Amino acid sequence: MYEFSYHKPASVADAVKLLSADPEARPISGGMTLLPALKLRLSKPTALVDLSGIAELRGIRRDGGTIVVGALAKHYEVATNADIKAAIPALAWMASTIGDTQVRNRGTMGGSVANNDPSADYPAALLALGATIQTDRRKLSADEFFTGMFSTALDTGELVTAIHIPVPEKAGYAKMKNPASRYSMAGVFVARGPAGVRVAVNGAGANGAFRAPQMEAALQANWSPDAVAGVKMDPAMMNGDIHGSAEYRAHLVTVMAKRAVQNAG
Amino acid sequence: MPQVSLTVNGTRHTVEVEARTLLVELLREKLRLTGTHVGCDTSQCGACVIHMGGDSVKACTILAVQCEGASITTIEGLAKPDGTLHPMQEAFREYHALQCGFCTPGMVMSAIDLVNKHPNGLTEQEIREGLEGNLCRCTGYHNIVKAIAAAADVMQGRRSELARAAE
């Protein structure tokens, strides 16, 4: 690891001040993506701003028809939280499949969302559920927030503080894990609720998580696994690499969409 | 240099570290607790798993400075002062759940967290999935899974002592 300095602010305002003063500083919460990257010297921040001491970023609560997840909520908390299990069981189950136990004990929803790794699980869920991402200065819809592989609408020094998720009528998730790395090769989250029928895909896209409008139209007309079984995805939109060709991933998306609808019931 | 104060196996330590020092480096190099192993550089192998506030975490993927005020348990902190092994350690011995032993400290620490988080017992599949973050290159996992099931019975009071492994 390269050298860096370390700060542990106690408020969002102080964290934003530190990050805004130094564009080469990076925020860290669980660090489950950032620390492995630092160990491999893939990243060279001047400073790490540790968000873990900021109480206002913690907690998960239900607020009427919305689940509000603090940015520091760990995957293990999302997987086991009673409100999420009751209101959006597909999201709790998704969280229980992220990484391994040790990653789930440290990694946070805010960190995963802000990093927008193309193989991360949450971006597809937030797109499909029509979530709103709250930052220290504004609110962004998931559609506005995720702008491509490892890319978001966040400005320098801007922090995700909470994620607001409307409770759906139905939601389901299915993914094909890479047999060695366990990262998503193709994952599909389907939801029917206040935001309409929405379908989003992780792991497979050439430019990160994306929505699948043809599948949304098919499910809007007929909410059943058969409705998406006939929807073919365009391989030109998919990522092809040593783990699977773009054609294979396009095929997987259709299969996972079918399973996700089955899981949603 | 930054200072970090933390409790390791019940003993309070205050140690000077660089910001980039990993917890596993603090444990092994500063505190000489070399039971926590490093088997990879990529956060994949799980040989370095310890407990932080009761949760299993990879000590190679957390900075020492992030552990200010934390309570850490390592493999050295499991046995009683008189040398009596923790039921999980005893089960690994009885069930021959190790060959070279390199992954064992991490396996044992992950297994104890797994059992603690499933107070009503574990299925074989839950044990196997619970070990996703730990790699073993010799045993083929079967005896590890058997050992964890047997230790869970003792830890959760379903048996008063460890079931003997079949010869």
Residue A46 makes CB contacts below 8 A (sequence gap 6+) with: A4, A5, A22, A24, A25
8 Å CB contact of B20 and A100 = no
Distance CA A165, CA A168 (A): 9
Fold of A1-54: 3.30.43
Residue type, B70: A
Q: What is the CATH number of the domain that holds B71?
A: 3.10.20.30
Q: What is the pLDDT of residues B27-84, one digit of tens each?
A: 999 999 999 999 999 999 999 999 999 999 999 999 999 999 999 999 999 999 999 9
Helix ranges restricted to H, A146-237:
213-221, 225-229
Whether residues B66 and B20 share a domain: the answer is yes
| CB spacing of B130 vs A101 below 8 angstroms | yes
Which residue type is seen at A137? R
Name the residue among B19, B66, B68 with its Cβ closest to that of A5: B19
CA distance B7 to B73: 8
B85/chain A closest Cα distance in angstroms: 24
Domain that holds residue B47: 3-77
Same domain, B91 and B67: no
Decide if A130 contacts A166 (C-beta within 8 A). yes
In a domain, B132, yes or no: yes
Give dist(CA B42, CA A35) in Å, integer.
Answer: 9
Return d(Cα B45, Cα B102) in angstroms, integer.
Answer: 11
Residues B58 and B15 in one domain: yes
CB contact, 8 Å: A106 with chain B? Answer: yes
Q: What is the dihedral of CA B125, B127, B129, B135, to 10 degrees?
A: -130
Q: Are A229 and A165 in contact (CB under 8 A)?
A: no
Spans of all domains in chain A = 1-54, 170-264
Residues A261 and A190 sit within 8 Å (Cβ to Cβ): yes
**Are B73 and B19 in a shared domain?**
yes
Looking at residue B161, what is its pLDDT? 92
Pairwise CA distance, residues B115 & B149, whole Å? 9
pLDDT, residue B167, reads 60
**Contact with chain B for residue A85, Cβ under 8 A:** no
Cβ-Cβ contacts under 8 Å, B49 against chain A: 102
Contact state of B43 with A32 under an 8 Å Cβ cutoff: yes
Q: Which of B4, B17, B18, B20 to mutate to test the interface with A (most CBs of A within 10 A)?
A: B20
Confirm whether B161 is domain-assigned. Answer: no
| The pLDDT of residue A179 | 87
Which candidate, A168, A162, A144, A147, places its Cα nearest to that of A54?
A162
Angstrom distance (rounded) from CA B127 to CA B117: 11
DSSP category for residue B26: I
From first to last of its 265 residues, chain A has per-residue pLDDT tens of 999 999 999 999 999 999 999 999 999 999 999 999 999 999 999 999 999 999 999 999 999 999 999 999 999 999 999 999 999 999 999 999 999 999 999 999 999 999 999 999 999 999 999 999 999 999 999 999 999 999 999 999 999 999 999 999 999 999 999 988 889 999 999 999 988 999 999 999 999 999 999 999 999 999 999 999 999 999 999 999 999 999 999 999 999 999 999 999 8
Q: Residue B134 in contact with residue B37, Cβ under 8 Å?
A: no
Q: Is residue B60 part of a domain?
A: yes
Q: Which of A101, A103, A106, A183 is best to mutate for the B interface (most B CBs within 10 A)?
A: A101
Judge whether B162 lies within some domain. Answer: no
Q: Do A5 and B130 touch (CB under 8 A)?
A: no
Q: Is residue B51 part of a domain?
A: yes
User: Nearest-CA distance from A239 to chain B in Å?
Assistant: 23
Q: How far is A157 from chain B (nearest CA, A)?
A: 21
Q: B67 and B12 in one domain?
A: yes
CA distances from B63 to A40, A262, B43 (A): 15, 42, 13
Under an 8 A CB cutoff, do A101 and B56 touch? yes
CATH class, range A170-264: alpha beta
Write down the ipTM of this complex. 0.95
Which residues of B lie inside 8 Å of A (Cβ-Cβ)? 2, 18-20, 41-43, 46, 49, 55-58, 60-63, 65-66, 68, 110, 113-114, 130, 132-133
- B79-125 pLDDT, tens digit each: 999 999 999 999 999 999 999 999 999 999 999 999 999 999 999 99
